[in-house]
Structure 1
Amino acid sequence: MKAGHVCVIGGGLAGIAATLRLTDAGHRVTLLEARPALGGATYSFRRGDLAVDTGQHVFLRCYEEYRNLLGRLGTTERTAMQEAFTVPILRPGAPPHTLTRDRRLPAPAHLLPALLTYRPLRLRQRFAAIRAASALRAVEPEAPASDEISFGAWLADHGQDPQTVQRLWELICVAALNAPPRHASLALAARVFRTGLFDRADAGDIGRPTASLAELHSVPALGLLRQQGANVRTGTRVRDITVDPSGFQVRSDHIRVTAEAVILAVPHQQAARLVPEAAVPDRARWSSLGAAPIVNVHVRYRQRVTDLEFAAGLDTPVQWVFDRTPPDSPGQYLVVSISAAESALHTPAGVLARTYLAALAELFPSAGRTAVHEVFVTREPRATFRQRPGTRSVRPPSRTALPGLALAGAWTDTGWPDTMEGAVRSGQRAAGVVLEHLASKTTLPEAST
């Protein structure tokens, strides 16, 4: 097969994955990224001597394609994977509780001891949660009907009282779907709980970066893609895509790229502006995907206040807290991650700082006695799309009506939530669509925007 020229627009995980698959197949690729570096939503910036990530991007053992990508980038050793799913749970004034799977038992029994001994719930609530977990294993994530109702409504129908929802199901749902159960799609929740926790004993083991996201993704990806022969252009914002007899024309303020195929791997808001109408006539529907924010409160203490690598919080403003202290660094750098953060998004940074310093002091008593070097806040207003009921019908497939133009991004119809795994899978799927097009030598229609 003759090598073709493909333009990939967007250098996040989806664009990186797509470019790798295309160059592996021997095609020429021009990758255009608007930001100064690759990585998309998983990027870092410098703040003095500190590398600050835009969010706390953990992953699970079942994120197989994402973990394969780390292997290609040579950065697997810059992550830490648990030997078994374990989450320390902290409550003010209560002893810590650890939620962990039993390594001796196969799925789904591996979680039974954890639920039976889950101290934040009363005994009858624990048994009710076990019955709901068993029922959730029967929910099919791919079924259209599963996407039409909320996870919260399903939980209520299956005997879960508000306290059980808040102290168990919401703990994972908010972190995984950036939405509370009452606003989350049952289909996506079923994907999280079935794939991540119920179907395989080790699937939910948690991995986390031990280096900055720039070191984990963007820097090694740039080197690898150029080694593969890709022409990577950062700081290049695409203005429009048109089609003529010579191929696709991709224009920025500074360059024009003519390509036989295009992969559009950008957030849905940008994709709707760029994609030709002939490719997706109903692209205006994508606006209903919306955006959900994540806010992070960063605290640098002058001494260590906890030995935990991460923990979840109950009965506290702290949803999840992560230790991101650089090696050999004095003190301790903690990051509080706030998902479904609509209220925190518009709260003044000073108010957030006071609120979360007090909350951390309740969870870690030594924190209240330790000097603070600095506190700052980062906000991601469009961290994910809103993963609510009915979104499955809006998320588009990779293939468009215009041969040679494919869509990628965690917001496309991957069947997965808006995660790093979903992003990588979408890029690989879009590359597959383009490879099929190039192999068939389909003639492009003579059309414009």
Structure 2
Amino acid sequence: MTTTDPGSHGPAPTDAEPPTAVVVGGGIAGTTTALSLADAGVRVTLLEGRPRLGGLAFSFQRGDLTVDNGQHVYLRCCTAYRWFLDRIDATALAPVQDRLTVPVVDAASRVRTPSGEGPRLGTLRRSALPVPLHLTRSLAAYPHLSVAERLSVARAALALKALDPADPALDAQDFGSWLARHGQSARAVEALWDLVGVATLNAVAGDVSLALAAMVFRTGLLQEPGAADIGWASVPLGELHDTLARKALDTAGVHTELRTRVAGISPTPDGRWTVKAPGGEITADTVVLAAPQRETHDLLPPGALDAPGKLLALGTSPILNLHVIYDRTVLRRPFFAALGSPVQWVFDRTAASGLTEGQYLAVSQSAVQHEIDEPVAVLRERYLPELERLLPATRGAEVRDFFVTRERTATFTPAPGSGALRPGARTRSPGLFLAGAWTATGWPATMEGAVRSGVSAADAALHALGRPRDHLFREAA
């Protein structure tokens, strides 16, 4: 590689040629940015240090199985991610439930069943009624809360709906204290608020910014009846975020280089940018850093942000995934959530992984700072008996494989004050922009947030370049 423009091996372009851009990072945010720039006629080079695209939503091979590093879901209200799926021609491969249905199993409450004693099952399900009546029937019959707790939850939900997530004062408060002030018992927090919040925010209520929590619950449960309907990939994540994303990038004319870790970026005297990569340097009009927080911090030139140390102060939080292969079918539902157990969410990944005999369950564990470095043997000893408590059909079943995947920096830490630490897409350096789920999207660190960040970065870059922006994702009015 020599000093050239993206995707070319010639001199810098003349004024008649299209502008050029380098996007650093091939996760969902970087892919979104690259596609959005290319669709506006910008010549884009996408540089990714890994041998694949997809960032933290990827797949790998384990023997004959195709394994996702972790279970990723989205909601019907994740309109930007749904737009992204459509852009890469993947919508049919990640369908959404017709209607929100979440089985919730309580390991601590035992009942008699036709097959013997088992955990009590409840279901959170929406109706077709308007908000907030769409959840009334389900909440009224929810067996994991007392009648008084259900009424208290309804009152808290109405109070939460009245909050403005954009209010900076909410960012300084924690959600757990707010719930306590609004009469929520420890059981209500466990059986409802944390059931949803831990999975979406990667933190328990007491450790979460009230602004972020209000955004999640208002958007998902308190605005549109179908907003919380759950979607997930019916194929390995790599087929979406690597294979189909790469095809879309190629079709759009994006030049993608994998196994290319950027060593530095610097402005040029003529107002452009030089990107230093292992094979040489690339010169471009615009650079978008769509890398993780620390990597972005290390690449930022002096003066690009008022306080670059905020990126490190924002912090990161881990997610742990346990993968269990049984010799027989032990779960008849696509997924369930658990109470009264260290187990949080369990998903059936049998068909998606290519397993032809037995069943493959993925156990998704968020907010697990205390467990992320535990040895596999310790996790196996802790969690297999818990799965037996939750799934009586596992008793007597043979565990053919048990393995663990760990994402130690899966999300930014959504603590009180985190909103003030998240930078926007624009920097103080002309032509340099930021993308990533950790930027100021207003959303937690989700695939939806990643797409929104990529759109914001592309929007800012295209505005600076004087290029059309009418093709970008926009929230419906």
TM value normalised by structure 1: 0.96
The reply on whether 1:14 has 2:29 as its aligned counterpart is yes
Aligned to 1:432: 459
Please give the alpha-carbon distance, in whole angstroms, between the structure 2 residues aligned to 1:262 and 1:390. Answer: 29
| Distance in 1 separating the partners of 2:356 and 2:80 | 33
* Matched residue, 1:285: 310
Q: Per-residue deviation at 1:328?
A: 6.5
Structure 1 counterpart of 2:475: none
CA shift, 1:80, in A, is: 2.6
Shift in Å, 1:433 = 0.8
Q: How much has 1:346 moved relative to structure 2?
A: 2.0
Per the alignment, residue 338 of structure 2 pairs with 313
Question: Which residue among 258, 264, 273 is the counterpart of 2:283?
Answer: 258
Partner of 1:273: 298
Cα distance in 1 for residues equivalent to 2:247 and 2:95? 23
2:85 to 51, 54, 70: 70
Match of 2:176 in 1: 152
For the residue of structure 2 that corresponds to 1:91, the secondary structure is: strand
- The within-5 A match list for 1:12-51 is 12-51=27-66
Residue matched to 1:446: none
Structure 1 residue 126 corresponds to structure 2 residue 150: yes
| Inter-partner Cα distance in structure 1 for 2:106 and 2:378 | 22
Q: Report the Cα offset of residue 95 of structure 1.
A: 2.7
Structure 1: how far apart are the matches of 2:192 and 2:185?
Answer: 11
Task: Indicate the residue corresponding to 1:114 in structure 2.
Answer: 138
Which residue identity lines up with residue 329 of structure 1 in the other structure?
Answer: T
Q: How does 1:256-405 map to 2 (within 5 A)?
A: 256-326=281-351, 329-405=356-432
Three-state SS of the structure 2 residue aligned to 1:342 is coil
Q: Residue deviations 1:81-122, cap 9 Å, x none?
A: 11111100012223311110112x111211112222211011
Q: For structure 1, which runs of at least 5 residues remain unmatched after alignment?
A: 441-449
1:262 aligned partner, one-letter code: V
- Of residues 434, 449, 453, the one that matches 1:422 is 449
CA contact (8 A) 2:65 2:355 kept: no
Is contact 1:358-1:368 (8 Å) kept? no
> Which residue of structure 2 lines up, in the alignment, with residue 447 of structure 1?
none
Q: Which residue of 1 aligns with 2:209?
A: 185
C-alpha deviation, 1:293, in angstroms? 0.5
Q: Which amino acid aligns with 2:31?
A: I
Q: State how many pairs are aligned.
A: 439
C-alpha distance in structure 2 between counterparts of 1:197 and 1:288, whole Å: 31
Q: Is the 8 A contact 2:326 2:359 kept in 1?
A: yes
Report deviation, 1:2.
Answer: 5.3
How many Å apart are 1:62 and its aligned residue?
0.6
User: Quick one: distance in 1 between partners of 2:312 and 2:120?
Assistant: 45
**Structure 2 letter corresponding to 1:362:** R
Following superposition, the deviation at residue 255 of structure 1 comes to 2.7
Deviations 1:236-287 (A, max 9, x none): 0001000112420000121311000100001111110001122114101211
Partners in 2 of 1:415 and 1:227 — Cα distance? 31
Q: Name the SS for the 1:276 alignment partner.
A: coil
- How far apart, CA to CA, are the structure 2 residues paired with 1:51 and 1:312? 24
Matched, 1:204 2:228: yes
**Shift in Å at residue 212 of structure 1?**
0.7
Kindly provide the CA deviation profile for residues 218-237 of structure 1, in whole angstroms up to 9, marking residues without a partner as x.
11111111111111001000
| Residue type of the alignment partner of 1:18 | T
Query: Where does residue 443 of structure 1 map in the other structure?
Result: none
2:103 maps to which of 83, 88, 113:
88
RMSD: 1.2
* Displacement after TM superposition at 1:69 (Å): 0.9
In the alignment, does 2:245 pair up with 1:221?
A: yes
C-alpha distance in 2 between matches for 1:223 and 1:166: 43
Output the amino acid matched with 2:341.
T
Question: Which residue identity is paired with 2:135?
Answer: L
Aligned-residue offset at 1:48? 0.7
